[in-house]
Amino acid sequence: MRDPIIGIDLGTTNSVVATVEEGRPRVIPSRVGGRLTPSVVGFTPNTTERVVGAPAQALAKEHPDCVVWATKRFIGRRFTPELVQAARSVVPYPLLGGTTGDVRVKMAGRTVPVTQVAAMILGELKLDAEAYFGREVRRCVITVPANFDDGQRQATREAAAIAGLDVLRLINEPTAAALAYGLSRGFQGHALVFDLGGGTFDVTVLEVTDGVYEVKATGGDSALGGEDFDLKIVDWLLSQIDEPLRESVHRDVVSQHKLKVAAEQAKRELSEYEETLISLAGLGDQSQSARKLTGLETVLTRSFFDQLCEPLSERCLEVCRAVMKDAGMAPSAVDTVLLVGGMTRVPLIRQLVTDFFGKAPSTEVNPDEAVALGAAIQADELARQSGAALLLDVVSNSLGVGVLGGKVRRLIPRNRSVPVVAREIFHPGRHGQTEARIPVYQGESDLQDENRKLGEVVLRNLQAGSRGDTSLEVTFELSNEGLLAVRAVDLQSGLSEEVRMEARPHLPVREADRLVKEQAAYAQKQAQQDARKSEDKFRKLLERGEKLARLLQHSAEENPGEEAQAAVANVRSLLESGHSALQAQDAEQCAHVARQLTQLLAGR
C-alpha cells in the first residue's frame, strides 16, 4: 500500500487537511470532530499545556491572554516598528522580535515564534491524518496565498519541517481551488478565483485546457481579510460605549475578545438575516479590583454593515480591476467565478462579485474546503505522476534590486511565468570596494521605500579596483513554488559563490532543532492518547456495524435478492476484518475498516 499523502490549507482563520481516496478528494475530519480546525493556539494558564484548534478557541473565552490567532499575517515577516503598529489594530496580543529579526507572539507569559505557532497547527493536522490512516504521515503539499513573498514561503516550509512534514511542493491557494473545481467537473475555459480568507485576499485568472492550468494573472492584498471586516464592527461597537469607559474597554484584552467574538457572530448572522442583535455585558478594565464595568446592546443591520465595510469593498474591487488589466481581459470574458474563503459567504461580497463580473459566482465549490481539496489533488498527482494536471503559475509580485538614488531596477516583472531565471550586471557604488551589498525588493513601485525589502545579497572579497572595472553578475532563480535563490559572480576574477539573503528572518539553528524535538515529543505523547481513544471509538463503531448487519439481514429475509445478500456479506466481511485487526492491534487496518464502515453507516 502506498504511503499516505495529504494536502493542507494552512489558513488565517481555519485550516483544513485532505487526501485523495479511490480517485476522489476528501476532507479528513479532525480528531475532536468537524472538518475545519480553527487556526488558534494557546497554553493553559496553570499547566501550560498546549491546546490547538477548537480547545484553544474555548480557552480564549476565559483566558484570551493565553491564546493567539490570525498569526499567518506575521509568518515570515521581519519584525519592524511599522509591523507592530499595524498589528495593534488587528490583534490584541503583543508582537516581539527574535534574535534574527523574526516575529514572535506572547501568550500565557511565554514568547513563541510565529513559525512555531504554524508548526503547532500543522502538527495537529498531521495527527488528524495519522489517526485517519492509522499510520505515520509525512508527505504533503501546502498552500500559501499567491502574494506570499520568498520569506513567507520559506517560513511556511520551516514550520512544516518542525511539524515533521516533508513538503513536496507549495502551491498558491487560488490555483489549488481552481484545480479542485476543474478536475472534479471537467471545466474548460477562463476561471477567476476570488479568494477572500481570514487575513489575505487573492484574485487569480486561470485558463484551463485539457488538464493544463495556466495562470494568466494574479494579484492581491496581503493585509485584507475577514478579520478586517470584523474589526469594522468592533470599532463601531466601541464608538457606542460612553467616553469615560471607552478607552479602558479598548485596552482590556478580555473585553476586546468579547467584542471580536460578537462581531464575528454578527457577521455570520447577517449572512442569513437582515439584522442581528448584539448584547454584551462585563466590558471594562478587568485588572482593577474596584473595576467599573459596562454593557452594550445594539442592533446591526445588513445594509449598515455594508456601509461600514465600503472602504474594504473598494479595496477588493481595486485588486479585481488590476488583475483583469494584467490579464488583458474584460470582466465579462471570465467564464466562471469561484469563491474561496469563509468571507465569500457574506452577501456583500457575493453581490460585489456579481456586479463586477456581470454573472453570479459558482456556488458548487465549498469555499472553506476547496483549497485543501486542490492541495490533495496536487499531492496525489505528484505521487502518481499521472500527468492528469499540469500547473503553470506566475510571479505574483515584481522582484528587483535597489540601485543608487533610492530606485529599484526590476529583474523579474509581475505575472511572469515560473520557473524563471533572470540575470543582471551591476557595479559597486564606489571605487575600491571589497564588499558589495545589493538589496532585493518586492513590489511594483520604482522607489525602494514603497516596496518590501526581502533581504540583501552580500558578495565579499571583491578585488579592489575602479568601479567601472568591477562587474558583478547577479542571478535570480525563482522556482515553480515561488522560492527565490540568488547567486553572484565576480566577472573580473571569475569567482562565484552562492550568497545568502541576510535580511530574511529565520529561526536560529539551535532553536529550530529544539522545537523539532519538542514537537516530536508532543506528537508521540498525543499519538499514544489518540491510539487509546481510537480503539474505544472503533469498538463502538463495530457495535453500530453489528446493528447495521442485523438490520440488513432482516431486510434481506423479507426482500430476498442478490443485492440484499451482497450488502449483508459486505458488512459481515468488514466486521470480521475489523475484529481481527483489533485483536492483532493493527492500527492501519482498524483505520481502513473504520473509514469504510463510517461511509456505510452514513449511507454513502
Residues with a known catalytic role: 9, 72, 173, 195
What distance separates the 2 farthest-apart alpha carbons in the chain?
Answer: 99
Q: What does each C-alpha distance from 433 to 424, 428, 463 come to in angstroms?
A: 19, 7, 8
Distance CA 551, CA 327 (A): 59
Cβ(104)–Cβ(93) below 8 Å: no
HEC sequence for 290-334:
CCCCEEEEEEEEHHHHHHHCHHHHHHHHHHHHHHHHHHCCCHHHC
Distance CA 128, CA 105 (A): 25
Q: Name residue, grid cell 448584539.
A: 278
Cα angle 464, 467, 471; round to 5: 85
DSSP category for residue 69:
E
Distance CA 344, CA 490 (A): 51
Examine residue 419 and say whether the peptide bond preceding it is cis (omega within 30 degrees of 0).
Answer: yes
Q: What is the pairing mode between strands 189-196 and 336-340? A: parallel
Q: Name residue, grid cell 526581502.
A: 454
Cβ(370)–Cβ(377) below 8 Å: no
Query: What's the residue count for the chain?
Result: 604
Distance CA 378, CA 537 (A): 32
Cβ(89)–Cβ(231) below 8 Å: yes
**First-last CA distance in the chain:** 24
